Amino acid sequence: MQHDPWRRRLLLAGAGMAGLVAAGLSPAAVQRSASSELRRAAWPAWRRAMPAGTWCAIPAANTIRAIDPARDPALNPYLASNPDDDRGPWGGVIGIRGVLDPWCGACFDRDRDTLWLPLGGGHQDYAGNEAYSIRLADEVPTWHMPRPPSGSIPLGLIELDDGQESSGNYADGRPRAIHSYNKHVFVPGRGPFCAMQGSTYRSGQAGPNRSLLLDRASGEWSVLAATMDARLGAAKGGACHDATRDVVWWLGDREAQLGYFDFADGQWHVMAEGSSMNVWSTHALTHVPEHDVLVVVSSNLPQRFAVWDATTSHMTEPGADNAPPAQLAIAGGPAGAVWVPRLNAVAMWHNREAASTGLISLLRAPAQPRSQPWSWDTLPVSSANTVLPSVAAANGTYGRFGYAPGLAGFHLLNGVDEPVYFFALDDGDEIFRDGFEHA
């Protein structure tokens, strides 16, 4: 029977569960119907209104620029003498755009449906070390800044361009700004985790390879690992959380071996007996629990991706049986990489052509992902779609594109003046999950 969700909802409202059974649905389908209603009821109105396969610009209360600390007289000490100042002590070369534009990513809290930009900026672009977050499941999502940047009035005016890049900290003891690439991972029950701080503001030529954890309430960072083994590579690598082991995996760029941070002992561990990789590029990394493998995506790999066995750390390059989709500007780390079980695929987005921004690229897994070729694919967009995201930021999208299972779709953020875009994988109906009524 063709998709008619209102028929099912009217039956449910008029005659309850018995009405669905009388209409010919199986008990299992009836249970799915009840689950669908509960699922939809938990969604905000903007998400409930979305048909499957469409994009929307989430109607938020503000943008990141709207809470730019440089324009707040209570935070920027320069505004008293220059009301037009839009930099403050931390503004660097490009101001508030620096939290996102210069090779900066994000991470997503799936339990709270919250997007985090934990630590960005870096090099000469931006010195601000403040975090930003927005809870997408709210009726009116709102950007928040847990604490202002170092050098702000509440924290005390200090010199940020002080030549102390190698320390990793400003004079107030807080971490210096960084290009974050794919370093940020949200760890359930803990918070945003920066796998490797690396090169810092202002020169970008020095900084500690250490791991940091953000306190979501205070916006303050703590050091979880003061040093990292050199065999883990350099700081343009990729990180991901492994929920099965409760570890964060890391694969650095340049010459590197796979490693993981174990929260049980608070230590980094190098998979010294496994493979190594020597690729000079930003990576994206994602864990596939169904096969217990890690997929690393890098434009400088011969096949654009490789597969690592999470137990043996043995790397294979099974390749793909077709070419990457044309819309994917870079089949590599700047496109991010997130495993989506319901699609049996790694999803990516970094689209630089306006006509193709609605297309999400997929790398679908075979039955034997270590040895059989994978397949590139594109997620279809509904003919009912009326919204297209903006084009990708030139330096990469990274974790600003990701999967939100609780909202059944993908989030995307391209600029500090822009909304968060969202793509709906379904409309909330378990029975009508592929356009037909399932008994």
Q: List the domain boundaries for the chain.
A: 1-59+382-439, 67-228, 232-377
pLDDT (0 to 100) of residue 70:
98
For 335-380, write each residue's pLDDT tens digit.
Answer: 999 999 999 999 999 999 999 999 999 999 999 999 999 999 999 9
Residues 175, 215: contact at Cβ < 8 Å? no
Asked if the model's pLDDT at residue 117 lies above 60, the reply is yes
User: Residue range 29-41: average pLDDT?
Assistant: 70
Crossing angle of the two packed helices 5-22 and 27-42, in degrees rounded to 10: 140
For 238-259, write each residue's pLDDT tens digit.
Answer: 999 999 999 999 999 999 999 9
User: What's the half-sphere exposure (Cβ side, CA atoms, 13 Å) at 174?
Assistant: 24
**Bridge-partner residues for 251, per DSSP?**
238
CA dist 22 → 31, 53, 57, 336, 402 (Å): 14, 31, 40, 47, 41
Length, in residues, of the chain? 439
- Residue 393 exposed, middle or buried by CB count within 10 Å (0-12, 13-18, 19+): buried
Q: Does the predicted model carry a pTM greater than 0.85?
A: yes
* Superfamily for domain range 232-377: Kelch-type beta propeller (2.120.10.80)
Task: Please tell me whether the peptide bond between 176 and the residue prior to it is cis, using omega within 30 degrees of 0.
Answer: no
User: Residue range 16-31: average pLDDT?
Assistant: 53
User: Closest Cα partner for 251 from 267, 228, 224?
Assistant: 228
| SS3 label, residue 41 | helix
Torsion of CA 201, 203, 208, 212, to 10 degrees: 20
Q: How far apart are CA 403 and CA 331, in angstroms?
A: 18
Sole residue written with tokens 């000490």: 77
Spatial CB neighbours of 8, under 8 Å, sequence gap ≥ 6: 20, 23, 25, 33, 429, 431, 432, 437
